[in-house]
Structure 1
Amino acid sequence: MKKWVSISLLLACTTNLAGQSRGRPVDSVINALIDNQLQLAKNQRDSFVGKNYRQADLLTTLLKLKGPDLGEKVFFLHFWFASCVPCIREFNGLEEMYKEYKDNKNFAFLSFTFENAATIADFKEKYHLTFPIQAVSENEINRLKLFPGYPVNILLGKGFIVEECYYGGMGSEQKSTMFIKDHISPLVNNLLQAKRIP
């Protein structure tokens, strides 16, 4: 999967560099490609938002989640890997959101990667991450996330309803942080205040 994403990005960059980079720095071409991917993700998200999260059973089994209040929780699911630059750009905004809601018993922030424990520890130290990161197999991640590629973020409302989902990241750390702060955090807040409709 990592090879496919890298090859696709490299191919897209080299194809576009020839025709579009006259007078434009390489970074702006790459950022434009990332922004284009984000737009595609927004178009695809409509098939998931407002529907039941189809992997709720796998999620609860994998993490051994149980209890009568499980359907009352709001879940934020985050999928990443170490050499994914757009994934890393999200860390600051995600860390801020995690700190804002971590003490709310009705909120669960779940970050998933297929990286080993040493890599996870290195990343937590390097990027000052305090949110929990769960190592699972790449196969399990592919079953849990709704989209191909990385990063993938899924916000589940009460009753495991998909309230928001997006993939591909943003063109910069600042854009990622602002999107999470201005769009995702208010959604989390509204969902935590909402009552579940049986």
Structure 2
Amino acid sequence: MKKVITFLIVLASIFTIQAQEYSFIPKGLKELSFEKLMEKGPPSNLELVFYEDGTKTTLDEVIPLIMSGAVYPRMFVDKKGKYKALVIIGGRYSFLPTGLKPISMDELKRRGVPKYLELVYLEDGTKVPFEEGVNLIKEGKAMPQMFVDKNEVYKALVVLKYKNDIDPYADIKNPTGEQAKPFTIKSINGEKYSLQNLKGKVIVLNFWFIDCMPCREEMPDLNKLEKKYRNNKNVVFLGIALDNKNAIKEFIKDYKFTYNLVSNGTKLSELYEVSVYPTHYVIDKKSKISYFSIGSGNKVITGIDSAIQKSLN
């Protein structure tokens, strides 16, 4: 449930969630905040349920989509605070073929991104090349909404760009310049690492987990970065995974990742206040944080590389 709520909060930052009139719902209704809706919970029944384009639907149809994080709900109440109408954001676009349905972010992460799709659009219906859409997502500038047919086959991707004036991660503190928090960990191969023992070296941390799609996609670039500094004993790469050791060992049979991998990294992730994956840290020789970034993409790889070089000098 926490993953779903986090996703919906981010999705809310993509759309304009100001008071808005819809011609297909009664006038005089007031929008209930997302937080209040989460507190009150979903209604047991509701007659007025629509997609944003005015297409009428049912509560039974949209509740699973909401709970999976595939769509965002906008609930409207009367003067007494009683539920009166629900408008569903996302999940239905006039430019998509009929009969398609959205899947949740968790499902997309589980199945992974296809190698190619013909139907890739921005939210306004602008058709874009597959590579362009995927790059916007990798660079943290947009969120994907994948659509499948009745056989669960990928058919279309809608790229939901973040508004220029909204940063979905604005409330995440940037710890650059702060002293790194002490830790002691052991890799899946038995090597022990601690902040104290690594003082005088540059530490590169990558927080990830197996089912994280952007985490998997950045691994080839991270491997190239690790290879660049492999013969430098003053640089240590640590991949902090949330998964257990056996799961990681099975995973790396198919996905090469050359960082020193650490399993069961939840406590360290919490210590470093990681809430979005992947997250990267570079810690300099004096145990101060010299670089921090969220997400993946060329900009992140360049930032890590630059921070390593500066920390070595």
TM-score of the superposition, structure 1-length normalised?
0.72
**Change in 2 beyond 3 A, CA 1:44/1:103:** same
2: distance between equivalents of 1:83 and 1:71? 32
Aligned partner of 2:243 in structure 1 is 115
**Change in 2 beyond 3 A, CA 1:42/1:190:** farther
Deviations 1:67-117 (A, max 9, x none): 987321110111111111121122111111111112211111011112122
Q: Which is bigger in relative contact order (C-alpha 8 A, separation at least 6)? A: 1
**Change in 2 beyond 3 A, CA 1:161/1:40:** farther
Q: How does 1:1-198 map to 2 (within 5 A)?
A: 3-9=1-7, 12=11, 14-15=71-72, 17=90, 21-23=123-125, 28=133, 31=137, 32-33=142-143, 36=162, 39-41=167-169, 44-46=172-174, 48-53=175-180, 55=181, 57=182, 59=183, 61-63=184-186, 64-65=192-193, 70-143=198-271, 145-167=272-294, 169-170=295-296, 176=297, 178-193=298-313
2: distance between equivalents of 1:50 and 1:44? 15
2: distance between equivalents of 1:136 and 1:67? 18
Higher helix share: 1
Cα shift at 1:162: 0.7
RMSD of aligned residue pairs (Cα, Å): 3.5
1: distance between equivalents of 2:8 and 2:306? 35
2: distance between equivalents of 1:182 and 1:62? 27
1: distance between equivalents of 2:231 and 2:123? 47
**Change in 2 beyond 3 A, CA 1:92/1:10:** farther
Aligned length: 178
**Change in 2 beyond 3 A, CA 1:107/1:117:** same
Aligned-partner SS, 1:110? strand
Higher strand share: 2
1: distance between equivalents of 2:195 and 2:206? 22
Unaligned runs of 5+ in 1: 171-175, 194-198
TM-score of the superposition, structure 2-length normalised?
0.48
2: distance between equivalents of 1:129 and 1:180? 17
Aligned-partner SS, 2:71? helix
Which letter does structure 1 place at the counterpart of 2:275? P
Unaligned runs of 5+ in 2: 12-69, 73-88, 94-121, 145-160, 187-191
Aligned-partner SS, 2:259? coil
**Change in 2 beyond 3 A, CA 1:85/1:185:** same
Q: Report % sequence identity.
A: 21
